Amino acid sequence: MLVALCGALQARGLPQHVVSLTPGGPNRAALERLGVPVHEVAPSGLIGPASSVLRLARLIRRLRPAMVQGWLYHGDLFAAAAHRLAGGRRATRLAWGLRNSDIDDARYGRLLAIGRLLSGWPDLVVANSEAGADFHRRRGYRPRRSAVIPNGIDASRFRPDPAARAALRAALGIMEDAIVAVHAARLDPMKDHATLLAAATRTPAIRILLVGSGTETLTLPANATALGRRDDLERIYAAGDIVVSASAFGEGFSNAVAEGMAAGLVPVATRVGDAQAILGSLGRLVPPRDPAALAAALASLAVLSEADRRGIGVLGRQRIEAQFSVERMAERFVEAWRGAGAEIKPLPPADPPTLQEETSPYPFP
Protein backbone atom coordinates (compact mmCIF):
# COMPACT_ATOMS: atom_id res chain seq x y z
CA MET A 1 0.00 0.00 0.00
CA LEU A 2 2.89 2.37 0.71
CA VAL A 3 4.34 1.74 -2.75
CA ALA A 4 0.92 2.11 -4.38
CA LEU A 5 0.17 5.36 -2.55
CA CYS A 6 3.57 6.91 -3.32
CA GLY A 7 3.29 5.89 -6.96
CA ALA A 8 -0.16 7.43 -7.34
CA LEU A 9 0.87 10.71 -5.68
CA GLN A 10 4.18 10.95 -7.53
CA ALA A 11 2.43 10.36 -10.86
CA ARG A 12 0.05 13.25 -10.14
CA GLY A 13 2.74 15.80 -9.37
CA LEU A 14 3.16 15.40 -5.59
CA PRO A 15 6.79 14.38 -4.92
CA GLN A 16 7.31 11.74 -2.24
CA HIS A 17 10.19 10.64 -0.02
CA VAL A 18 10.18 7.43 2.02
CA VAL A 19 12.20 6.85 5.19
CA SER A 20 13.03 3.25 6.09
CA LEU A 21 13.94 2.07 9.58
CA THR A 22 15.40 -1.14 8.11
CA PRO A 23 18.08 -1.57 5.47
CA GLY A 24 17.24 -2.79 1.97
CA GLY A 25 14.07 -4.78 1.44
CA PRO A 26 11.90 -5.39 -1.63
CA ASN A 27 9.97 -2.13 -1.29
CA ARG A 28 13.06 -0.01 -1.80
CA ALA A 29 13.60 -1.22 -5.36
CA ALA A 30 9.88 -0.84 -6.15
CA LEU A 31 9.83 2.72 -4.84
CA GLU A 32 12.99 3.75 -6.63
CA ARG A 33 11.58 2.43 -9.91
CA LEU A 34 8.77 4.93 -9.38
CA GLY A 35 11.28 7.74 -8.84
CA VAL A 36 10.66 7.90 -5.07
CA PRO A 37 13.88 8.45 -3.04
CA VAL A 38 14.31 6.07 -0.08
CA HIS A 39 16.30 7.30 2.93
CA GLU A 40 17.58 4.65 5.35
CA VAL A 41 17.93 5.64 9.03
CA ALA A 42 18.15 2.08 10.38
CA PRO A 43 18.97 2.03 14.12
CA SER A 44 21.97 -0.04 15.21
CA GLY A 45 23.92 -0.36 18.45
CA LEU A 46 23.18 1.16 21.84
CA ILE A 47 22.67 4.68 20.54
CA GLY A 48 20.99 3.54 17.34
CA PRO A 49 17.45 4.80 18.06
CA ALA A 50 18.65 8.23 19.19
CA SER A 51 20.96 8.50 16.19
CA SER A 52 18.14 7.56 13.84
CA VAL A 53 15.82 10.18 15.33
CA LEU A 54 18.52 12.84 14.89
CA ARG A 55 19.12 11.83 11.27
CA LEU A 56 15.40 11.87 10.57
CA ALA A 57 15.04 15.30 12.19
CA ARG A 58 17.83 16.65 9.99
CA LEU A 59 16.11 15.19 6.93
CA ILE A 60 12.82 16.88 7.88
CA ARG A 61 14.59 20.22 8.35
CA ARG A 62 16.28 19.84 4.97
CA LEU A 63 13.25 18.72 2.94
CA ARG A 64 10.56 20.69 4.84
CA PRO A 65 7.77 18.38 3.66
CA ALA A 66 4.18 19.53 4.00
CA MET A 67 3.40 16.28 5.86
CA VAL A 68 5.35 13.58 7.66
CA GLN A 69 3.22 10.43 7.55
CA GLY A 70 4.06 7.55 9.89
CA TRP A 71 3.09 4.16 8.45
CA LEU A 72 3.36 1.55 11.24
CA TYR A 73 3.88 1.74 15.00
CA HIS A 74 7.66 2.11 14.97
CA GLY A 75 7.45 4.59 12.12
CA ASP A 76 4.82 6.60 13.99
CA LEU A 77 6.98 6.90 17.09
CA PHE A 78 10.21 7.76 15.26
CA ALA A 79 8.31 10.30 13.14
CA ALA A 80 6.81 11.92 16.25
CA ALA A 81 10.16 12.29 18.00
CA ALA A 82 11.96 13.59 14.92
CA HIS A 83 9.12 15.96 14.06
CA ARG A 84 9.33 17.55 17.51
CA LEU A 85 13.10 17.82 17.28
CA ALA A 86 13.02 19.32 13.77
CA GLY A 87 10.76 22.22 14.79
CA GLY A 88 8.80 24.18 12.21
CA ARG A 89 5.50 22.55 13.07
CA ARG A 90 3.49 25.13 11.13
CA ALA A 91 5.32 24.27 7.91
CA THR A 92 5.39 20.50 8.41
CA ARG A 93 2.44 18.58 9.84
CA LEU A 94 2.57 15.13 11.42
CA ALA A 95 0.28 12.17 10.78
CA TRP A 96 0.31 8.65 12.16
CA GLY A 97 -0.79 5.47 10.43
CA LEU A 98 -2.73 2.63 12.07
CA ARG A 99 -2.95 -0.48 9.94
CA ASN A 100 -4.09 -3.18 12.36
CA SER A 101 -7.04 -4.06 14.57
CA ASP A 102 -7.30 -6.21 17.71
CA ILE A 103 -3.59 -6.99 17.78
CA ASP A 104 -1.52 -9.25 20.02
CA ASP A 105 -0.58 -7.60 23.34
CA ALA A 106 2.30 -10.01 23.85
CA ARG A 107 4.13 -8.52 20.85
CA TYR A 108 2.69 -5.03 20.54
CA GLY A 109 1.50 -4.10 24.04
CA ARG A 110 4.44 -1.79 24.78
CA LEU A 111 4.10 0.02 21.46
CA LEU A 112 0.37 0.45 22.05
CA ALA A 113 0.99 1.88 25.51
CA ILE A 114 3.51 4.44 24.21
CA GLY A 115 1.22 5.27 21.30
CA ARG A 116 -1.69 5.85 23.64
CA LEU A 117 0.34 8.32 25.69
CA LEU A 118 1.52 10.24 22.61
CA SER A 119 -1.62 9.97 20.47
CA GLY A 120 -2.42 13.65 20.98
CA TRP A 121 0.87 14.72 19.35
CA PRO A 122 0.08 14.19 15.67
CA ASP A 123 -2.12 16.55 13.71
CA LEU A 124 -3.88 13.54 12.21
CA VAL A 125 -4.19 9.80 12.80
CA VAL A 126 -5.11 7.71 9.75
CA ALA A 127 -6.50 4.17 10.11
CA ASN A 128 -7.02 1.90 7.13
CA SER A 129 -10.18 0.36 8.63
CA GLU A 130 -13.08 1.27 10.88
CA ALA A 131 -12.22 -1.79 12.97
CA GLY A 132 -8.68 -0.51 13.47
CA ALA A 133 -9.85 2.99 14.42
CA ASP A 134 -12.36 1.55 16.92
CA PHE A 135 -9.79 -0.79 18.45
CA HIS A 136 -7.29 1.99 19.08
CA ARG A 137 -9.97 4.24 20.56
CA ARG A 138 -10.87 1.46 22.98
CA ARG A 139 -7.19 1.18 23.88
CA GLY A 140 -7.03 4.85 24.82
CA TYR A 141 -5.88 6.60 21.65
CA ARG A 142 -7.25 10.15 21.65
CA PRO A 143 -6.20 11.82 18.40
CA ARG A 144 -6.98 15.46 17.78
CA ARG A 145 -8.13 14.58 14.28
CA SER A 146 -8.67 11.20 12.66
CA ALA A 147 -9.61 9.68 9.32
CA VAL A 148 -10.36 6.20 8.01
CA ILE A 149 -8.88 5.62 4.55
CA PRO A 150 -9.37 2.13 3.13
CA ASN A 151 -6.54 0.55 1.19
CA GLY A 152 -6.47 0.98 -2.57
CA ILE A 153 -6.20 -1.91 -5.01
CA ASP A 154 -4.57 -1.69 -8.43
CA ALA A 155 -7.26 -3.30 -10.58
CA SER A 156 -5.05 -3.03 -13.68
CA ARG A 157 -2.59 -5.42 -11.98
CA PHE A 158 -5.06 -7.70 -10.22
CA ARG A 159 -7.47 -8.83 -12.90
CA PRO A 160 -8.70 -12.00 -14.59
CA ASP A 161 -5.93 -13.35 -16.81
CA PRO A 162 -6.78 -16.54 -18.74
CA ALA A 163 -3.22 -17.00 -20.03
CA ALA A 164 -1.68 -16.75 -16.56
CA ARG A 165 -4.40 -19.05 -15.20
CA ALA A 166 -3.60 -21.76 -17.73
CA ALA A 167 0.18 -21.39 -17.35
CA LEU A 168 0.25 -21.54 -13.55
CA ARG A 169 -2.18 -24.43 -13.35
CA ALA A 170 -0.08 -26.36 -15.83
CA ALA A 171 3.10 -25.60 -13.86
CA LEU A 172 1.50 -26.82 -10.61
CA GLY A 173 -0.22 -29.83 -12.14
CA ILE A 174 -3.73 -28.51 -11.45
CA MET A 175 -6.52 -29.68 -13.72
CA GLU A 176 -8.39 -27.06 -15.71
CA ASP A 177 -11.72 -27.90 -14.05
CA ALA A 178 -10.36 -28.03 -10.47
CA ILE A 179 -11.75 -25.60 -7.88
CA VAL A 180 -8.82 -23.62 -6.46
CA ALA A 181 -8.87 -21.44 -3.33
CA VAL A 182 -6.00 -18.99 -2.81
CA HIS A 183 -4.85 -17.97 0.68
CA ALA A 184 -2.22 -15.20 0.57
CA ALA A 185 -0.70 -14.53 4.01
CA ARG A 186 2.66 -14.79 5.73
CA LEU A 187 3.00 -17.41 8.46
CA ASP A 188 1.81 -15.53 11.55
CA PRO A 189 -0.58 -16.43 14.41
CA MET A 190 -3.01 -13.72 13.34
CA LYS A 191 -3.40 -15.34 9.89
CA ASP A 192 -4.49 -18.63 11.53
CA HIS A 193 -3.15 -21.17 9.06
CA ALA A 194 -4.17 -23.90 11.51
CA THR A 195 -7.87 -23.16 10.96
CA LEU A 196 -7.35 -22.95 7.20
CA LEU A 197 -5.61 -26.33 7.05
CA ALA A 198 -8.25 -27.91 9.30
CA ALA A 199 -10.89 -26.64 6.87
CA ALA A 200 -8.84 -27.96 3.94
CA THR A 201 -8.92 -31.50 5.34
CA ARG A 202 -12.74 -31.25 5.39
CA THR A 203 -12.89 -30.14 1.73
CA PRO A 204 -10.62 -32.57 -0.16
CA ALA A 205 -12.22 -31.68 -3.51
CA ILE A 206 -10.92 -28.09 -3.29
CA ARG A 207 -7.27 -27.38 -4.08
CA ILE A 208 -5.78 -24.87 -1.62
CA LEU A 209 -2.83 -22.66 -2.65
CA LEU A 210 -0.98 -21.07 0.27
CA VAL A 211 1.19 -18.08 -0.61
CA GLY A 212 3.34 -16.20 1.88
CA SER A 213 6.64 -16.24 3.70
CA GLY A 214 6.93 -19.28 5.96
CA THR A 215 4.10 -21.29 4.42
CA GLU A 216 6.63 -23.64 2.85
CA THR A 217 7.45 -24.94 6.37
CA LEU A 218 3.91 -26.13 7.10
CA THR A 219 2.75 -29.75 7.18
CA LEU A 220 -0.03 -29.85 4.61
CA PRO A 221 -2.95 -32.09 3.69
CA ALA A 222 -2.87 -33.71 0.27
CA ASN A 223 -5.07 -31.04 -1.34
CA ALA A 224 -2.90 -28.09 -0.24
CA THR A 225 0.23 -26.64 -1.85
CA ALA A 226 2.50 -24.02 -0.26
CA LEU A 227 4.36 -21.63 -2.57
CA GLY A 228 6.23 -19.55 0.02
CA ARG A 229 6.80 -15.88 -0.64
CA ARG A 230 5.81 -14.80 -4.14
CA ASP A 231 6.01 -11.38 -5.75
CA ASP A 232 3.71 -12.33 -8.64
CA LEU A 233 0.47 -12.57 -6.70
CA GLU A 234 -1.49 -11.35 -9.69
CA ARG A 235 -0.60 -14.63 -11.46
CA ILE A 236 -1.50 -16.71 -8.40
CA TYR A 237 -4.93 -15.10 -8.06
CA ALA A 238 -5.54 -15.56 -11.78
CA ALA A 239 -5.21 -19.33 -11.28
CA GLY A 240 -7.85 -19.39 -8.55
CA ASP A 241 -11.61 -19.47 -8.22
CA ILE A 242 -11.95 -18.47 -4.55
CA VAL A 243 -9.89 -16.11 -2.39
CA VAL A 244 -9.92 -16.95 1.31
CA SER A 245 -8.83 -15.18 4.50
CA ALA A 246 -8.80 -17.26 7.69
CA SER A 247 -7.45 -14.54 10.01
CA ALA A 248 -8.27 -14.91 13.69
CA PHE A 249 -7.53 -11.32 14.74
CA GLY A 250 -5.50 -8.27 13.84
CA GLU A 251 -6.68 -7.61 10.29
CA GLY A 252 -7.62 -4.06 9.47
CA PHE A 253 -8.25 -4.02 5.74
CA SER A 254 -7.39 -7.35 4.10
CA ASN A 255 -5.42 -6.61 0.94
CA ALA A 256 -5.51 -10.29 0.00
CA VAL A 257 -9.31 -10.44 -0.07
CA ALA A 258 -9.63 -7.20 -2.03
CA GLU A 259 -6.89 -8.17 -4.51
CA GLY A 260 -8.54 -11.53 -5.07
CA MET A 261 -11.89 -9.86 -5.69
CA ALA A 262 -10.25 -7.51 -8.19
CA ALA A 263 -8.95 -10.62 -9.96
CA GLY A 264 -12.50 -11.95 -10.23
CA LEU A 265 -12.35 -14.51 -7.39
CA VAL A 266 -15.25 -15.23 -5.03
CA PRO A 267 -14.33 -14.17 -1.47
CA VAL A 268 -14.52 -16.17 1.77
CA ALA A 269 -13.35 -14.33 4.89
CA THR A 270 -13.56 -14.52 8.64
CA ARG A 271 -15.49 -11.74 10.31
CA VAL A 272 -12.35 -9.87 11.37
CA GLY A 273 -11.45 -6.23 10.75
CA ASP A 274 -13.34 -4.61 7.88
CA ALA A 275 -14.06 -7.84 6.01
CA GLN A 276 -17.78 -7.08 5.90
CA ALA A 277 -17.13 -3.66 4.35
CA ILE A 278 -14.94 -5.21 1.65
CA LEU A 279 -17.28 -8.07 0.74
CA GLY A 280 -20.57 -6.26 1.02
CA SER A 281 -23.20 -8.87 0.12
CA LEU A 282 -20.79 -11.01 -1.92
CA GLY A 283 -19.12 -14.28 -1.02
CA ARG A 284 -19.18 -15.75 2.47
CA LEU A 285 -18.36 -14.36 5.93
CA VAL A 286 -17.68 -16.86 8.74
CA PRO A 287 -16.69 -16.67 12.42
CA PRO A 288 -12.94 -16.74 13.12
CA ARG A 289 -11.29 -19.90 14.52
CA ASP A 290 -14.12 -22.11 13.20
CA PRO A 291 -12.79 -24.75 10.76
CA ALA A 292 -16.22 -26.29 10.23
CA ALA A 293 -17.79 -22.97 9.23
CA LEU A 294 -14.87 -22.13 6.95
CA ALA A 295 -15.06 -25.55 5.29
CA ALA A 296 -18.83 -25.21 4.81
CA ALA A 297 -18.38 -21.80 3.17
CA LEU A 298 -15.74 -23.12 0.78
CA ALA A 299 -17.85 -26.15 -0.07
CA SER A 300 -20.94 -24.00 -0.73
CA LEU A 301 -19.03 -22.02 -3.37
CA ALA A 302 -17.43 -25.08 -4.91
CA VAL A 303 -20.85 -26.54 -5.79
CA LEU A 304 -21.95 -23.39 -7.62
CA SER A 305 -21.87 -23.49 -11.38
CA GLU A 306 -18.89 -21.93 -13.12
CA ALA A 307 -21.21 -19.26 -14.54
CA ASP A 308 -22.46 -18.36 -11.04
CA ARG A 309 -18.94 -18.03 -9.65
CA ARG A 310 -17.96 -15.88 -12.62
CA GLY A 311 -20.99 -13.68 -12.08
CA ILE A 312 -20.04 -13.11 -8.44
CA GLY A 313 -16.47 -12.44 -9.58
CA VAL A 314 -17.63 -9.74 -11.99
CA LEU A 315 -19.60 -8.02 -9.23
CA GLY A 316 -16.65 -8.28 -6.85
CA ARG A 317 -14.26 -6.68 -9.31
CA GLN A 318 -16.73 -3.88 -9.98
CA ARG A 319 -17.03 -3.29 -6.23
CA ILE A 320 -13.27 -2.99 -5.80
CA GLU A 321 -12.90 -0.65 -8.78
CA ALA A 322 -15.73 1.59 -7.56
CA GLN A 323 -14.89 1.79 -3.85
CA PHE A 324 -11.29 0.74 -3.25
CA SER A 325 -9.13 2.06 -6.09
CA VAL A 326 -5.57 3.31 -5.60
CA GLU A 327 -6.59 6.68 -7.06
CA ARG A 328 -9.37 7.12 -4.50
CA MET A 329 -7.01 6.15 -1.69
CA ALA A 330 -4.52 8.82 -2.82
CA GLU A 331 -7.25 11.46 -3.03
CA ARG A 332 -8.47 10.60 0.48
CA PHE A 333 -4.95 10.93 1.91
CA VAL A 334 -4.49 14.36 0.35
CA GLU A 335 -7.94 15.47 1.57
CA ALA A 336 -7.10 14.30 5.11
CA TRP A 337 -3.66 15.94 5.08
CA ARG A 338 -5.12 19.25 3.89
CA GLY A 339 -7.81 19.02 6.55
CA ALA A 340 -5.06 18.68 9.16
CA GLY A 341 -3.44 21.91 7.99
CA ALA A 342 -0.87 20.68 5.47
CA GLU A 343 -0.39 23.12 2.61
CA ILE A 344 -1.01 20.72 -0.28
CA LYS A 345 -2.82 21.67 -3.44
CA PRO A 346 -5.73 19.45 -4.45
CA LEU A 347 -4.66 16.61 -6.69
CA PRO A 348 -5.22 17.09 -10.42
CA PRO A 349 -7.45 14.50 -12.10
CA ALA A 350 -5.84 11.12 -12.67
CA ASP A 351 -4.82 10.28 -16.22
CA PRO A 352 -7.65 8.54 -18.08
CA PRO A 353 -7.21 4.81 -18.57
CA THR A 354 -5.57 3.64 -21.76
CA LEU A 355 -7.55 1.84 -24.41
CA GLN A 356 -6.07 -1.45 -23.19
CA GLU A 357 -7.27 -0.79 -19.64
CA GLU A 358 -10.72 0.11 -20.89
CA THR A 359 -11.05 -3.24 -22.67
CA SER A 360 -12.87 -5.79 -20.51
CA PRO A 361 -10.40 -8.28 -18.94
CA TYR A 362 -13.07 -10.94 -18.65
CA PRO A 363 -12.99 -13.97 -20.96
CA PHE A 364 -16.77 -14.15 -20.73
CA PRO A 365 -19.74 -11.79 -21.29
pLDDT digits (tens, 9 = 90+) for 5-30: 999 999 999 999 999 999 887 799 99
Measured CA to CA in angstroms, residue 111 lies from 14, 105, 295 at distances of: 31, 9, 36
Which residues face 285 on adjacent strands?
A: 269
**Rounded to 10 degrees, what is the CA torsion of 313, 314, 320, 323?**
-140
Return the DSSP state at 154.
-
pLDDT tens per residue across span 53-69: 999 999 999 999 999 99
Q: How many domains does the chain have?
A: 2
Please check whether residues 135 and 253 belong to one and the same domain.
Answer: no
Residue ranges making up the domain that contains 98? 2-152+325-339
pLDDT at 365: 30
Work out the mean pLDDT of the chain and round it to a whole number.
Answer: 92
**Which has the closest alpha carbon to 321: 270, 273, 360, 276?**
360
Please check whether residues 71 and 138 belong to one and the same domain.
Answer: yes
pLDDT at 349: 78
CATH number, residue 173: 3.40.50.2000
Is residue 166 included in any domain, yes or no? yes
Is residue 310 included in any domain, yes or no? yes
User: Which residues neighbour 311 within 8 Å (Cβ) at sequence distance 6 or greater?
Assistant: none
Lowest mean pLDDT among 25-29, 31-35, 183-187, 210-214: 25-29
Please check whether residues 296 and 231 belong to one and the same domain.
Answer: yes
State the average pLDDT over residues 163-176. Answer: 96
pLDDT at 163: 96
Measured CA to CA in angstroms, residue 266 lies from 238, 334, 351, 358 at distances of: 12, 32, 30, 23
Span between the terminal Cα atoms of the chain, in Å: 31
State the average pLDDT over residues 93-120. Answer: 89
Is residue 357 included in any domain, yes or no? no
Is residue 38 included in any domain, yes or no? yes
Which residues face 182 on adjacent strands?
A: 209, 243
- The answer to whether the pTM exceeds 0.75 is yes
pLDDT tens per residue across span 250-305: 888 999 999 999 999 999 999 999 999 999 999 999 999 999 999 999 999 999 99
pLDDT at 352: 57
pLDDT at 46: 67
Cβ-count burial of 228 within 10 angstroms (0-12 exposed, 13-18 middle, 19+ buried)? Answer: middle
Phi then psi for residue 128, to 5 deg, are: -95, 10
Which residues face 98 on adjacent strands?
A: 127
Q: Residue 39: enclosing H or E segment and its boundaries?
A: strand 38-40
Please check whether residues 177 and 132 belong to one and the same domain.
Answer: no
Please check whether residues 61 and 192 belong to one and the same domain.
Answer: no
Whats the size of the chain, residue-wise? 365
